[in-house]
Every structure is written in structure tokens, then in C-alpha cells.
Structure 1
Amino acid sequence: MNPMKRMAAAWSALVVLFVGAGCSSSGGDEEDTPQPAPSASGPSTRPADGDTGAFRGMTLPSWNTHDYDSPQAATYLQQIAATGARWVTLTPTWYQDRVTDSELRTTEETASDESLRSIIRRAHDAGLAIMVKPHVDLVKGGDRAGIRPADPDAWFAAYRRFITHYADLAADTGVEQLSVGTELAGTSQDGARWSGVIAAVRGRYRGRLTYAANYDEYRNVPFWKDLDVIGIDAYWPLADRATTDGAQLREAWKPIADELAAFSERQQRKVLFTEAGYVSQRGTTTAPYSWTVSKSDGSAEQAAAYEALLASFDGKAWWAGVCWWMWDDWPDSGETAKHLAYTPHGKPAEEVLRRWWAHTG
């Protein structure tokens, strides 16, 4: 989820239901368990090899340089683990000024490498496996899907430097999975250049790789077979009006699940929901991608949406799991009041997660 969209509803509201996926599963085969990347200086403890399990995850995004090494970090990780999650996703972000630019840079909103190393150690100590999912955003806001560089060669050269930086860090810290990109629909159809980026990452990092395509982007991505798993940010609208009707929501997922199953078979890759989430606002199932659907409490609708996704996909052989967007904002950084935000913490949706996850292996 683009953090710049925290100021307004994102993406097109005219999108119709067509195909989708998410980031959590209680069933998984031994062959799907990612192996930690070799590391010369890995964490003091980490999930044992073969024990990272199906991807039952929660995103803990960063908005500032020192979020990940703040005193709150350890508390958040313990809370995430208490839901039954086995994975946490971290999102260091670099920025460019305009959609046509070729330069990527860090800002005061970019998590420092030191803070990333710190939270990776803490997450492993808490028994969590890790996906690092670097983001690129625009300094003045806007949708990263609109990035279309005027000089593609220069942009991809800059992007390769950016993503291999995190491949090195992931390899050095024993991170279990890395996303090579997130919702870059304006560039993701350039299969040749992306294959070159992925090859450069493979030369530095031996863990599992994915790319986090938006739900209306994934079918146009030509490089899935260069990766280990198909990643989809699963923000499909499920209703045309606010609802807590679980049967209706599960019915809405059926054609999406059918399309994803067929796509998975064609690509010979499992589908991971690299993001899925719902604000606790009335109407969230009509526009899951929006931070600002309404000003009315929708915690029951959020919980119903969590339940429907897990009930619709859990146990499907082609589904690798779900990573929910997102846990609590850092103190003083949230632009959406917690009782209306994406976090399930302290809401009925957290209890849904505990029922599905806490007692599964």
C-alpha cells in the first residue's frame, strides 16, 4: 500500500471485480518452506530451517528513519507474533520527485540500514520469518504505478542499485524472502529489463524472490517465471455497498479465486498475497485500497472481510498465504485515527486472525 495514499483514497474507484490474492495460509507443503539466505553474520537466533511455515504474515511499515529501531519495535513484533503470524514484512522506501525521473534517493522517511538490521534481529528473536519488500514512492505524493521514466535505461540502472542494496542486506542478515518490487505497473511490462534486475538480485541473494503486483497489474507482468512465487496486493472490491455478510463476501471471492488458480497453473508458481487489508471504516469492502472510505466505524465489516478472505483461500494448494496490511502506526506518525485505520490490533479482526492462526502449526 502506497504510504503517500494515506492522505486520500487511492487508485481508481471504477475498478470492477476481476481477479485477486493475499498473504496468509495455515496449510503449506514442506517444499514451500523458504530457506533462510546464507549469511556470514546472521542474527543470534532465527526460525529453524524448515520451520518458517506457510506465509501467515503482517506488514510493519516504516515512515521515518528510526522507526525500526525505536523502543516500540520490540512490542509490535511481540504483538504480531501473538496473533499466530509467522512472518513480518518490512518496507524500506526510497523516493523520486516525478513519475518521469530516473533518480532514486533516500529521505528522512527512509528506514536506515541500521534500523533494518536491528528489527530483523528482533524479529528473528521473536520467532518470525521476514520478507523485505522495498518500496519506491513519489516525494510529493501520487501513485507509484504511474512511474514511467523518460529514460528507462537510467531508471533501471538506478533501480538495480536500489534493489541490490537490499539484496545484500537481506543476504547478510538471513532474511527469508525478498520482493524485487512493489506495484510498479508503469515499468513492470518491460520484461527484459526486469529480468536483468532479477538476475542481478539472484547473484547476491539466495532466498525466495517475489514481486508485489497490484491486483489489476499481475496479469500483465511478463517475468513471473524468473521468480519463485507470484505476489499480488489483493485489494479487489468485494461489494458495491457496505456489508458484513460473510456469505456474500465469500461469493465475491469465488470468480477471483478461480482466475487465480488458473493463472497459478499457467505460470507454475503459487500465489502469495503480498498485501491484503481493510480499514475499519464502513464501506471498506467496496474499496479495500482506500484509507478514507468513510468516517463511520466499520470494525465489524473489517472483521468480516478478514474472515471471508481466510475462509476463501485457506488450504488451496496453489495459494502460498497472505501478508496483511498493516500493524499499528508508529507513535505520532499515523494520519488516520487508529480506530479507523488498517490495523486489526485491538479490533474484532485481530480475534479473527487468532482463531485462524494461533493454534496452527
Structure 2
Amino acid sequence: MKRLLIFCIAMAFFSCEKEGDGFPEDCLTEKINANDKIKGGSILQVYRLRIDGKIIDLAQKTNINWVALSPLVQLEELCDNHPCFDVNDEVELMKVVIPNMIQSGISNIMLKPLTSFWTVNGSGFWGDFYVNTEEEWKPIEKTYTELFYEFAKLSEEFPEVKLLSIGNELKEFTKRRPQFFKTLIASIRKDFPNLKLTYAANWDEYQSVSFWEDLDYIGVNSYFPLVNKETPTVNEIKQALSPIKNNLKDLSCTYDKPILFTEYGYRSIDYAAWKAWLLGDVSTANHNFEAQNSGYTAFYDTFWDEDWVAGGFFWEWKILSNGEVNNPNGNGWYVNDKPVEKIIKERYSK
């Protein structure tokens, strides 16, 4: 009788799960069809697209079906006696860049502004930014709302703008002011109901974000420190990603939201799968294509076929302008003309 009871309990447990590595049946998260994956690339040097409207052959070389535009926006210390972003300049830039993207054949766009607060309190990294008093927070939150509201309005003029990230790696800001972000999300949803929303949480932040339920995607910038070796193997990186995968799957199931990798990538450098923020400035001194290739391959092998993963945006594509020639031996994040470009294209073609 005891053995029969144990057998029945075990059968009941396994009957509640899908076959394979997907969700338990009682997890309501929308299943992402392979054909609907967001196969994206990221552009940081958005301003260069104003100088030279040529998008080159990003889509042809990588098979992307989405692009993330990530202009860097600086919060000025004083503007009419309060901190402010230069909203008009950024919006006008987007009105030039977005049509260029559309003309190049890219019809799915995420806007993901990167907001810097250096002039306010000297925060070298935006994730460390915060102020101490309500009096200080209010004008910052007001201008932040104005900035993102103007970015959201671009979706009315350009229907190809289908997704907006309402922040990027703002660990202290989101932790200290969650109600502000919930209010911002509700406001944008009300006025722009066709615009999908996410937030791009850094790898060490996503578990503490308290407003995932208000968004369409759980956004994660996947820069996890994985293997402390110059050139780790694909299997070593996959093993390091395994517990992270389990945590993300649980989080997705908890909130009934798919995971979107708002940024993912590896530098072509020694220790590319370790602590990326410690790897120093870009040069050609120790470029390591194998380390970059292994990182991308392990990432795709681990996440890409999961039906709780909406897709992602590789970081990043370099924009060349005014006759500039790319040097593929640079050990930065760029994938242009490096061996990893073919890996991305192959995975995105499936």
C-alpha cells in the first residue's frame, strides 16, 4: 500500500508537467511560437543615423526582424531651475531615424532610451542613481515621464514602433520608487493601448523588480558572470546558465509573462563570459573570437527554443558613417564582420 501511494503521488506530480523542458501545465504564460520570436539587434549609435541615413545591411547580414534603438539621453542638472532631459532633440532625432529604418526593410522597432544621471549626483552607472528627498525626486520623475511619454507618442506617427522599454538598468531608481513606474506604465497604457511595454532589468536586478505584472514582457539584460576563464567552452557556459534558466522560467511562470532578453551578447575578448564590466576599453590587443562565439552559441542553445522566451536583441550593431571602415579585430561588443555574425544569422534564420 505504501509503495502504491508513493507511485500515485509521483504520477500526479509528473502529469502536471509538460513533456520536455517547457512550463508546468498550470502555468498560464503565453507560449511563444518559434515563428513569432523577436529576433532583434541593438543600435546604440543612433545619432550616426542622422548623419548618414544608410542602415547598411543589418537585416541581410543577421536576419533580424526587430531592431532596438537605444539613444543615450543625459539628464541636465538645471533647466528652468530643475533637472530635465532634452526631450525635443531626442524626439526629432527619432523622427529622422525611424523612417530610415523602415525604408531599410525593418518594420518592427523597440525604443529603449538609456537615461544617464551623471550631472545630477555623479552616478557613473545609471543603476546606482538615486536622490534622497521627495523634493529632489519629484522634478526628476516629472521630466522622466515627459521623456518617455514623447517616445510613446512616436508610435502614433510610426506604427512600426511596437514596443517601448520604460527604463534600462535603473536598479536603485526602480527599487526606491516602484509606484512611480507603476503610474508611468498605467498612463502610457491608457493613452497608447497598442504599444507593448517592457523594462530592461540588469542581470542582478530582475528578481527585485516589483512591477512585472504591469508589463507585457519581463525584460532582462543578460550580462551574467558565468565562467572565469579566458576561453570557456560552450558546455561550460551552458552549465553556468542552467540555474539562471531555471530562475527565469520560474519568474516567467510566476507573473504569467514571457522573458524578453532586452540585451544579450558577449565581447570578442578574453574572459568574455565573466564580468563584462571589468574587461576594460575596446582595443585590438587581445581579441578572442572563440570566446564570443561560445557565449552566443551557449546562449542560443540554452534559451532560444524555450516557449517562455519571447526572443531578444543582441548587443550590438555598429553604425558606420562618412566612409568609416569597420575593424573586426576590435574586442568590443560589435558583431559586424566577426565570425559571430554568421552564428546570429544562422540562429535567426531557423
- Equivalents in 2 of 1:198, 1:353: separation in Å? 32
1:299-350 deviation per Cα after TM superposition (whole angstroms, max 9, x unaligned): 111111111101110111111111111001444899x986211111111110
- The one-letter code sitting in structure 2 at the alignment partner of 1:148 is Y
User: How far did 1:285 drift?
Assistant: 1.0
- Pairing 1:1-361 to 2, within 5 Å after superposition: 53-62=36-45, 64=47, 67-71=48-52, 73-75=54-56, 78-96=57-75, 103-106=83-86, 112-128=90-106, 129-139=108-118, 142-150=124-132, 151-174=136-159, 175-189=161-175, 190-205=177-192, 206-290=194-278, 292=280, 295-331=285-321, 339-358=330-349, 360=350
The structure, 1 or 2, with the larger RCO (C-alpha pairs under 8 Å, 6+ apart) is 1
- Equivalents in 1 of 2:308, 2:144: separation in Å? 30
Aligned partner of residue 226 in structure 2, secondary structure: coil
Q: 1:198 to 1:265 in 2, by over 3 A?
A: same
Q: 1:292 to 1:126 in 2, by over 3 A?
A: same
- Equivalents in 1 of 2:309, 2:129: separation in Å? 29
Which structure 1 residue ranges, 5 or more long, are not aligned?
1-28, 34-50
Aligned partner of residue 172 in structure 2, secondary structure: coil
Residues 43 and 69, structure 2, Cα contact 8 Å, conserved in 1: yes
What TM-score comes out, normalization by structure 2 length? Answer: 0.79
Question: What CA RMSD, in Å, does the superposition of the two structures yield over aligned residues?
Answer: 2.9
1:223-267 deviation per Cα after TM superposition (whole angstroms, max 9, x unaligned): 111100000111001101212411111111101001110111111
1:155-208 deviation per Cα after TM superposition (whole angstroms, max 9, x unaligned): 211211111010111332110111111111111122211111111211332211
- Equivalents in 1 of 2:126, 2:195: separation in Å? 26
Aligned residues: 305
1:69-115 deviation per Cα after TM superposition (whole angstroms, max 9, x unaligned): 2325321xx223431111110012321257xx9613239xx964333
Aligned partner of residue 84 in structure 2, secondary structure: coil
Which structure 2 residue ranges, 5 or more long, are not aligned?
1-28
- Equivalents in 1 of 2:100, 2:330: separation in Å? 27
Structure with a larger share of its residues in helix: 2
1:45-91 deviation per Cα after TM superposition (whole angstroms, max 9, x unaligned): xxxxxx99311111011264xx222325321xx22343111111001
What TM-score comes out, normalization by structure 1 length? Answer: 0.77
Q: Percent identity?
A: 24
Residues 179 and 210, structure 1, Cα contact 8 Å, conserved in 2: yes
- Equivalents in 2 of 1:53, 1:289: separation in Å? 32
- Equivalents in 1 of 2:277, 2:59: separation in Å? 22
User: How far did 1:282 drift?
Assistant: 1.2
Aligned partner of residue 249 in structure 2, secondary structure: helix
- Equivalents in 1 of 2:145, 2:266: separation in Å? 32
